[in-house]
């Protein structure tokens, strides 16, 4: 039997350039299924970066642009419509607000966009405030005739007793025009 000594063995040195790995190569890759071959070679490696991921496939592009268009449409409609608390009548914009304080509800309608009405002395408005409860029925009502002066704009006010009311609705009538405003009552 032969004994190997370290002294008798030739010294073998390896350099990093001499090392060659043959793993994941060779003729057997040609016979693999395409999905496994692509996975092993790195062809289907996940993309890095948010923008690359969003535009990596046709489905992702369509979903991204659909989402962007929905968001833009949401904001445009919100700006154009302005909500239920704004409306226009007689060429001016009316906005309602209401809040609850000390067991009373204070509602007001303010007017803006009065540039078209500089030459008009007064605008006769019939104003009807209705306070609605949780069921949506009218719990309290206030009607008044209001002469709005565009040169000296003042809001229309109404005060109600708070009986667990939820929202205030206001109907403005000017000649044959009418506008309905509605807002939730905020607590202060």
The CATH number covering residue 162 comes to 2.60.40.10
The residue whose two tokens read 């905020």 is 186
CB half-sphere exposure, 6, CA atoms < 13 A: 0
36 lies in the same domain as 105: no
* Count of domains for the chain: 2
Q: How far is 137 from 7, CA to CA, in rounded Å?
A: 104
The four Cα atoms 34, 36, 37, 43 give a dihedral, to 10 degrees, of: 100
Tell me the per-residue pLDDT of 16-37, one tens digit each, with 9 for 90 and over.
666 655 555 566 666 678 888 7
Of 44, 62, 80, the residue at which a domain comes to its end is: 80
Q: Residue 92's pLDDT is what?
A: 86
93 lies in the same domain as 76: no
* 146 assigned to some structural domain: yes
32 lies in the same domain as 97: no
Tokens (6 digits) for 161 = 């007793």
Q: Which pTM was predicted?
A: 0.56
99 lies in the same domain as 157: yes
Of 42, 60, 80, the residue at which a domain comes to its end is: 80
35 lies in the same domain as 97: no
Domain interval for residue 72: 27-80
Per-residue pLDDT for 4 more than 70?
no
Tell me the per-residue pLDDT of 71-102, one tens digit each, with 9 for 90 and over.
999 998 877 776 777 888 888 888 999 999 88
Tell me the per-residue pLDDT of 105-138, one tens digit each, with 9 for 90 and over.
999 999 887 777 777 888 889 999 999 988 888 8
């Amino acid at each position: 039997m032969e004994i190997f000594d370290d002294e008798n063995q030739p010294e073998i040195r390896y350099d990093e350039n001499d090392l060659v790995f043959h793993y994941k190569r060779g003729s057997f890759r040609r016979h693999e299924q395409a999905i496994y071959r692509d996975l092993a070679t790195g062809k289907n490696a996940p993309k890095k970066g948010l923008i690359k991921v969003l535009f990596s496939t046709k489905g992702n592009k369509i979903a991204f642009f659909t989402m962007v268009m929905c968001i833009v449409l949401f904001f445009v409609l919100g700006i154009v419509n302005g909500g239920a608390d704004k409306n226009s009548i007689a060429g001016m914009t009316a906005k309602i607000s209401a809040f609850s304080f000390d067991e009373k509800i204070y509602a007001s309608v303010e007017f803006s966009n009065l540039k078209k009405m500089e030459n008009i002395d007064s605008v006769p408005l019939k104003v009807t405030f209705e306070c609605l409860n949780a069921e949506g029925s009218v719990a309290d009502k206030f009607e008044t005739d209001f002469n709005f002066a565009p040169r000296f704009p003042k809001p229309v006010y109404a005060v109600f007793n708070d009986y667990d009311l939820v929202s205030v609705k206001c109907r403005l009538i000017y000649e044959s025009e009418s506008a309905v405003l509605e807002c939730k009552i905020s607590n202060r």
